[in-house]
Chain A
Amino acid sequence: MAERPRVRLPKDARKGEVIVIKTLIQHDMETGLRKDPAGNTIPRRIINKFTCDFNGKPVFSADLEPAVAANPYLQFNARVDESGTFRFSWFDDDGSVITADEKIVVT
């Protein structure tokens, strides 16, 4: 259900610069409040958590509720002091985790 995360951030930056990171993942974010045509409740299934680490250290994370819109978009900032890799992770209610890595060169 959750597919293809997209991440946008600069490929390089200067030491100490604060960059903007934009993330998007396809996911219905089923609230658990809807009913199907037969009248049965469609069970909740959302991305409930997002994390962003840089070189293994936490930068930003979010605990999400069903009130976050489908195809959750998250934009936030990170100060980069060295080159390395950002790891982004999206945690689904069903226990699955989707990750994406992006490198950045910092001079």
Chain B
Amino acid sequence: MRKRSRREMLALGGAALAVAGGPWRAAATPAEAAAEIAKFTGGKTAERGKISIDLPEIAENGNTVPLSIVVESPMSADDHVSDIMVVAEANPRPGLAVFHLTPQSGRAEVATRIRMAATQNIVVVAKTSKGQFFTEQKQVKVTIGGCGG
């Protein structure tokens, strides 16, 4: 058996996981959420700060949990938030939404309602036009999970 490079081994392992995973596993993992974030940041480190996340401490109904995000930013042409990514660490899939803003947005604030399958961290990562990344996260306890199951 020829020696496989580390890269090949990782790719094989990844493929095996993808086949085995399918849509039926119960939950993603923080590692998968981190992988989504790494794709968004291109591997760059996100600094903690600039972001306020408004989420209930306890969500009575995981089918609809109000989420509100505020990112401090001048929102000027040369310094504004361009994208905000939201991921969940223990939903069936980590991705929740990516919001795209422009200087015409005026303020970097977004609100929506999300589904949460179980108690977990919601992680927000903001990208600025200067190529900086900021992150913040909040844990929500979920009493009745809701991801359509």
Contact = CB atoms under 8 A, between A and B. Distances in A.
A105 interface: no
Contacts of B148: 30-31, 33-34, 66
A32 B24 CA distance: 10
B97 A76 contact: no
B105 A63 contact: no
The SS class assigned to the A binding surface is strand
Given A33-B23, A34-B148, A59-B104, A68 B97 contact: yes
Residue among A30, A68, A73 with the most chain B CB within 10 A?
A68
Interface string A53-85: 010011111111111111011111111000000
Interface residues of A, number: 31
Interface in B71-94: 75, 88, 91-93
Contacts of B147: 31, 33, 66-67
A60 B99 contact: yes
Interface in A1-58: 18-19, 30-34, 41, 54, 57-58
- Chain B interface extent, by class: 20 to 34
B112 interface: yes
Contacts of B68: 75
A79 B106 contact: yes
Given A31-B148, A68-B115, A18 B93 contact: no
Contact of B104 (A54, A63, A69, A75): A54
A34 B102 CA distance: 36
Interface of A: 18-19, 30-34, 41, 54, 57-70, 72-79
19 contacts: A31-B115, A33-B148, A33-B149, A58-B100, A60-B101, A61-B99, A62-B100, A66-B93, A67-B96, A68-B97, A68-B113, A74-B110, A75-B109, A75-B111, A76-B99, A76-B101, A77-B105, A77-B107, A79-B103
